[in-house]
Structure 1
Amino acid sequence: MTYTGAVKPGGPADVRELEHLTITKVAVDEQMSNNCYLLRCKATGEQLLIDAAAEADVLLPLIGPSLATVVTTHQHWDHHRALADVVAATGATSVAGEPDAAAISEATGVPVARAVVQGDLVTVGECTLSVIALRGHTPGSIALLYDDSDSAGGRPHLWTGDSLFPGGVGNTQQDAGRFEELINDVEARIFQRLPDDTWFYPGHGDDSTLGEQRPHLAEWRERGW
């Protein structure tokens, strides 16, 4: 089956097979429709979960007996409601952006064992993810970049949390300073760095590519949020 990234709560997961990494996308919670992403290194079997957003009873059967790491993309409540249950069941290490780490720990009761900043690396088996800090939606929002462009037919893959969606950057509650910070980070650290075929996976809704969204950057900046 061809991966589309179109998932909905209560529906099946969608699976994408890269040369070295398997990506499983599932949506949870009918109200919020959060995306959760399970990454598995094909060489070692090690796994990493991006956002234990909700519904541990959905996530844990996908994960199976072993999970090394859970990365929380940002501190908002809807992205970590299942974190405590997932960590308790698997013993996974909790990772988050440094400015959001204390808030995540306070809300979930799960200590953030590793607080990361711009340029840090997170591994899943033999695969490496680069941390991109995207300030504005929250102070410590992060994206994760896996560069598969050296593989045959490969491309970069980017998990953006709630900082970048098809159609615009994340909500900054009409705060002009926060919006400027976010749009500047998204432009400089994502669009100026990565090619058009970069596939990105947001915290809610469908995926897209940077090439599809790049022509709209100026209108996003003009519109604000």
Structure 2
Amino acid sequence: MSRIEKVVTSGTFSLDGGTWDVDNNVWLLGDDDEVIVIDAAHDADAIVESIGGRRVVAVLLTHAHDDHVDAAPALADTTGAPVYLNPDDEPLWNLAHPGLPLPSPLTDGQTFEVAGTTLVARHTPGHAPGATVFVAPDLGVVFTGDTLFQGGPGATGRSYSDFPTIVDSITDVLLTLPPETVVHTGHGDDTTIGAEAPHRQEWLDRGH
């Protein structure tokens, strides 16, 4: 049975001329032999240490804001694993890693297998054009990156983001999951779909 591990790394997020200190959740899904890494934030060495001797099936990126992808090239070099990103995030990838080729394309509905568990990629634009969540139906979990947090949608106040789009993505993709589904976020604490769903009207009223 696959298990979920969380590695918290620290660094900065920069966009639109500002820089902020951030702590990021890096998620490992797998068993004693193989693992998938979700997001490659800040510290490739810390992530590699948590991987141990396991084979890395893939590095999956929820979106290309620099705090989620800054360690991706080093992690790929060290592990030899392919990196996947929705190509709609090309502008953000180019800001984070100018001159480096785009990772392998990640498409809506694409599946990944690790340790007997299937992960399904679902495109959820809004926080970023290529933002993608990863659903593990048999584990009852979803890895949402910065699309949905405890307390509502991710930020949409900066370039390449859009508030109505993120609400539509959450409504169409995430709120259709079972309410007991655990939400593993890109920053901060877990929540559940059932805890967030009743607040959708409040998000709309709040707007952005």
Which bin holds the TM-score, normalised by the shorter protein?
0.7 to 0.9
1:113–1:79 distance in 2 versus 1, CA, 3 Å: closer
Q: In structure 1, what is the equivalent of residue 179 of structure 2?
A: 196
**1:69 matches 2:69:** no
Give yes or no for contact 1:41–1:126 (8 Å, CA) kept in 2: no
Matches within 5 A, 1:31-50: 31-41=21-31, 45-50=33-38
Q: In structure 1, what is the equivalent of residue 84 of structure 2?
A: 95
Q: Indicate the SS of the match to 1:33.
A: strand
Give the drift of 1:62.
0.5
Identical pairs, percent: 33
1:36-79, CA deviations, whole angstroms, 9 ceiling, x for partnerless residues?
A: 0011146xx22110011111221111012331210111010111
Q: In structure 2, what is the equivalent of residue 135 of structure 1?
A: 125
Task: Name the CA distance, whole Å, in 1 between partners of 2:143 and 2:48.
Answer: 20
Give the drift of 1:122.
2.1
1:66-101, CA deviations, whole angstroms, 9 ceiling, x for partnerless residues?
A: 312101110101111111111111101001112114
Question: What RMSD, in angstroms, separates the aligned Cα atoms of the two structures?
Answer: 2.1
Determine which structure has the larger strand proportion and give its number: 2
Of 108, 111, 118, 1:121 maps to 111
Amino acid at match of 1:84: P
Task: Name the CA distance, whole Å, in 1 between partners of 2:191 and 2:146.
Answer: 14
Q: In structure 1, what is the equivalent of residue 17 of structure 2?
A: none
Q: In structure 1, what is the equivalent of residue 46 of structure 2?
A: 58
Q: In structure 2, what is the equivalent of residue 164 of structure 1?
A: 148
Amino acid at match of 1:55: D
Q: In structure 2, what is the equivalent of residue 10 of structure 1?
A: none
Task: Name the CA distance, whole Å, in 2 between partners of 1:60 and 1:93.
Answer: 15
Amino acid at match of 2:177: L
1:125–1:102 distance in 2 versus 1, CA, 3 Å: farther
Give yes or no for contact 2:7–2:50 (8 Å, CA) kept in 1: no
1:105–1:224 distance in 2 versus 1, CA, 3 Å: same
1:186–1:62 distance in 2 versus 1, CA, 3 Å: same
Task: Name the CA distance, whole Å, in 1 between partners of 2:203 and 2:92.
Answer: 29
**1:24 matches 2:13:** no
Q: TM-score, normalised by structure 1?
A: 0.80
Q: In structure 2, what is the equivalent of residue 84 of structure 1?
A: 73
Q: In structure 2, what is the equivalent of residue 208 of structure 1?
A: 191
Q: In structure 1, what is the equivalent of residue 16 of structure 2?
A: none
Give yes or no for contact 1:71–1:96 (8 Å, CA) kept in 2: yes
Structure 2 segments unaligned to the other structure (5+ residues): 12-20
Give yes or no for contact 2:179–2:192 (8 Å, CA) kept in 1: yes
Give the drift of 1:123.
2.2
Q: In structure 2, what is the equivalent of residue 14 of structure 1?
A: none
Q: Indicate the SS of the match to 2:198.
A: helix
Give yes or no for contact 1:68–1:92 (8 Å, CA) kept in 2: yes
Task: Name the CA distance, whole Å, in 2 between partners of 1:89 and 1:137.
Answer: 29
State the number of aligned residues: 196
Task: Name the CA distance, whole Å, in 2 between partners of 1:83 and 1:51.
Answer: 8
Amino acid at match of 2:204: R
Task: Name the CA distance, whole Å, in 2 between partners of 1:52 and 1:174.
Answer: 21
